[in-house]
């Protein structure tokens, strides 16, 4: 089965950032609700959650994690009781009526339900309505009270930083999906992280590896003021709870889409299966696709003395690298840097770059070149590519990328790098344009040669934690890689690629 195509859009709005803007009327309303309705709602919601806990705790005693439970009268009674309590809890939280479109199918027809977009802990509403199992972070089970409720629905726990745990999670999903309806349906949020709902990011393949039919479900929160989204940068968990409970009503819609049955090709290729289901869901939501993933959040929120200032160009570069199928490793970076140093100032065209990377000539590779400043003949400095690749591979280890750049640029005898070369490197690493280093070289003291070694710069950065803020000037707005200087390090004039 093939869905109608939706062309993925280029990165426009960072899906991992949520900014709230309040009108005067919003501020007055929140102020009044905070003094009147909010304390009552919080008290009642807390009471109902505590009321649900003994039901879930009693049902979980002595239960095996690996054996499906029979649908006994006790289990059905507890299920119904918890659904009533949870619905009352959401009602008291302002979700007075929840519009449901479509129908949920039986586990035998679709053992897996895929839900998107994932943007908040309020996405638990469809879980509590259905009592489906979920895939959850291991630490979720340790949350007081709420963790017991999570354990009751027989989740598949995953420890994200452990590759073995991820493999075990996939195997457990496959085992349950192929149980013929013995286990509850598994409700999976395939994005794997919360976003601001401005687009659908890449789906993880776990829900699609079994190769069985899935039922897509889309969520819509319809309040004009978005107090729901809980992303990597934005309001914290308690602020989201406070602001949401201060809304007179929280409008929500759950839509069950038709079951998606994979073709033979999709059964063999879970990535294709995931991509096509994502297109169906994006079409229903009327939002664009963006080929960013859970891992790309590290680019948005890098740390360290040279943290990325504007991630937009680097996120787009990361997207293109992923499309190229280029698997970045430490050894690959060292190899590319060594070969780039031998080329030094030699500029590469499209065919040269394809040969350098051992990749075919494609439109995607041309898009990569277009991100960088080129000369009139469309040539690029391969060292810029290596610096960008290192930055997106290890965004919070900027000093390692800086050292790699010095290895490619430095004078063999003195170990020094010219000011223009350092400026070009920092532009790429920081995601900014027109870096000016005059202040840095003035602060270094000694004769101003316009050159610096890695050890000198490293020492200076160690002594100045606010290095970027205090010693570098640049235009802080979205840009493309490279720099158009009257006299670049290779003696050629470059124009910014617009």
Q: Name which residue leads in pLDDT, 373 or 152.
A: 152
Section 20-38 average pLDDT: 95
Residue 211 C-alpha from the chain's centroid? 25
pLDDT tens digits, residue range 90-116?
999 999 999 999 999 998 899 999 999
How confident is the model over 369-387, as a mean pLDDT? Answer: 84
- pLDDT at residue 317 tops 60: yes
| Long-range contacts of residues 44-51, Cβ cutoff 8 Å, at least 24 apart | 44/92, 45/89, 45/92, 45/93, 45/245, 48/85, 48/86, 48/88, 48/89, 48/92, 49/89, 49/145, 49/146, 49/149, 50/145, 51/85
Give φ, ψ of 200 to 5 degrees: -105, 120
Half-sphere exposure of 151 (CA within 13 A, CB side): 24
Residue 352 burial class via C-beta count within 10 angstroms: exposed 0-12, middle 13-18, buried 19 and up: middle
Closest C-alpha to 116, from 54, 201, 41 = 201
Backbone φ and ψ for 62, nearest 5 degrees, come out as: 70, 15
pLDDT of 138 above 90:
no
| Dist. CA 386–CA 407, nearest whole Å | 11
Cα–Cα distance for residue pair 383/371, rounded to 1 Å: 14
pLDDT on residue 197:
95
Cα 114 versus chain centre, distance: 17
Q: What is the pLDDT of residue 476?
A: 54
**Residues 230, 220: Cα–Cα separation, whole Å:** 15
Which of 22-31, 129-138, 204-213 bottoms out in mean pLDDT, i.e. has the lowest?
A: 129-138
The whole-number average pLDDT for the span 354-372 is: 91
Section 193-201 average pLDDT: 93
Over the chain, what is the mean pLDDT? 86
The token pair at 286 is 């009327």
Largest CA distance in the chain: 86
Tell whether pTM > 0.85. Answer: no
Residue 172 or 257, more confident: 257
Given a cut of 50, is residue 395 above it in pLDDT?
A: yes
- For the ranges 32-46, 292-306, 365-379, the maximum mean pLDDT occurs at 32-46
Classify residue 71 by burial, with Cβ atoms within 10 Å: 0-12, 13-18, 19+: exposed
C-alpha 84, offset from chain centre: 34
Residue from 248, 200, 241, 201 nearest 224 by CA? 248
Per DSSP bridges, beta strands 133-137 and 214-221 are: unpaired
Confidence class for position 162, pLDDT limits 50, 70, 90: low
CA distances from 192 to 116, 123, 293, 392 (A): 10, 13, 8, 20
| Cα separation, 291 vs 268, whole angstroms | 21
Least confident of 153-157, 162-166, 441-445: 162-166
Q: Which residue has the higher pLDDT, 85 or 440?
A: 85
CB contact at 8 A, 364 and 346:
no
The reported pLDDT for the residue numbered 298 is: 86
DSSP label of 16: T
The answer to whether residue 2 scores a pLDDT higher than 70 is: no
pLDDT at residue 9, as a whole number: 43
Q: In whole angstroms, how far apart are CA 481 and each of 179, 299, 383, 407, 435? A: 51, 15, 12, 20, 12
pLDDT category at 170 given cuts 50, 70, 90 is confident
Question: How many Cβ atoms sit within 10 Å of the Cβ of residue 99?
Answer: 11
Of all residues in the chain, the percent with pLDDT exceeding 70 is 89
pLDDT at 351 over 60: yes
Over residues 357-381, the mean pLDDT reads 86
Give the confidence band of 447 by pLDDT, cuts at 50, 70, 90: low
Weakest-pLDDT range from 26-30, 211-215, 371-375, 493-497? 493-497
pLDDT of residue 194: 93
Question: Minimum mean pLDDT among 5-9, 24-28, 35-39: which range?
Answer: 5-9
Per-residue pLDDT, averaged over 17-25, amounts to 93
d(C-alpha 74, C-alpha 234), whole Å: 43
- Amino acid 446: pLDDT: 64
Q: Please, which pLDDT band fits residue 496 given cuts at 50, 70 and 90? A: very low
| Residue that wins the pLDDT comparison between 331 and 483 | 331
In terms of pLDDT, which residue wins out, 366 or 9? 366
Is the confidence at residue 172, as pLDDT, over 60?
yes
Output the pLDDT for position 163.
Answer: 61
Cis preceding-peptide flag for 117 (omega within 30 of 0): yes
In sequence order, the 6+-apart residues with CB closer than 8 A to the CB of 455 are 415
Task: Specify whether the CB–CB gap between 396 and 460 falls below 8 A.
Answer: no
């Amino acid at each position: 089965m093939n869905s109608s195509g939706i062309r993925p859009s280029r990165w426009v709005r960072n899906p991992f950032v949520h900014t709230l803007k309040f009108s005067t009327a919003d501020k007055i309303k929140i102020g009044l609700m905070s003094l009147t309705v909010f304390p009552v709602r919080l008290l009642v919601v807390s009471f109902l959650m505590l009321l649900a806990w003994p039901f879930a705790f009693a049902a979980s005693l002595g239960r095996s994690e690996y054996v499906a439970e029979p649908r006994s009268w006790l289990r059905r009674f507890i299920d119904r009781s918890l659904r009533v309590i949870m619905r009352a809890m959401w009602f008291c939280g302002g979700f007075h009526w929840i519009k449901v479109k479509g129908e949920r199918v039986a586990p035998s027809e679709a053992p897996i339900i895929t839900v998107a977009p994932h943007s908040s802990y309020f996405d638990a509403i469809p879980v509590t309505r259905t009592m489906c199992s979920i895939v959850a972070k291991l630490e979720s089970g340790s949350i007081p009270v709420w963790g017991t409720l999570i354990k009751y629905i027989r989740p598949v726990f995953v420890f994200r930083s452990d590759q073995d745990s991820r493999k075990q999670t996939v195997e457990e999903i496959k085992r349950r999906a192929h149980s013929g309806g013995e286990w509850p349906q598994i409700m999976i949020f395939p994005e794997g992280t919360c976003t601001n709902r401005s687009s659908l990011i890449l789906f993880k393949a776990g829900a699609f590896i079994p190769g069985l039919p899935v039922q897509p479900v889309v969520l819509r929160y319809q309040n004009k003021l978005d107090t729901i989204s809980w992303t990597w940068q934005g309001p914290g968990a308690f602020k989201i709870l406070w602001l949401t409970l201060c809304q007179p009503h929280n409008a929500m819609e759950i839509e069950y889409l038709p079951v998606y049955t994979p073709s033979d090709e999709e059964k063999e290729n879970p990535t294709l299966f995931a991509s096509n289901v994502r297109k169906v869901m994006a079409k229903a939501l009327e939002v664009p696709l963006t080929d960013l993933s859970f891992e790309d959040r590290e680019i948005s929120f890098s740390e360290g003395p040279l943290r990325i200032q504007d991630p937009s160009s680097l996120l787009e570069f990361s997207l293109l690298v992923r499309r190229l199928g280029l698997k970045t490793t430490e050894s690959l970076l060292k190899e590319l840097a060594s070969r780039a140093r031998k080329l030094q100032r030699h500029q590469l065209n499209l065919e040269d770059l394809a040969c350098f990377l051992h990749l075919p000539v494609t439109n995607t590779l041309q898009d990569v070149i277009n991100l960088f400043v080129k000369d009139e003949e469309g040539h690029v400095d391969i060292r810029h590519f290596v610096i960008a690749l290192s930055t997106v591979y290890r965004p919070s280890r900027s000093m390692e990328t800086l050292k790699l750049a010095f290895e490619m640029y430095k004078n063999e005898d003195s170990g020094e790098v010219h000011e223009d070369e350092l400026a070009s490197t920092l532009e790429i690493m920081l995601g900014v344009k027109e870096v000016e280093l005059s202040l840095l070289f003035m602060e270094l003291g000694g004769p101003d040669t316009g050159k610096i070694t890695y050890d000198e710069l490293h020492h200076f950065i160690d002594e100045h934690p606010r290095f970027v803020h205090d010693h570098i000037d640049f235009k802080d707005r979205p840009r493309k890689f490279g720099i158009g200087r009257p006299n670049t390090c290779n003696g050629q004039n470059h124009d910014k690629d617009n």
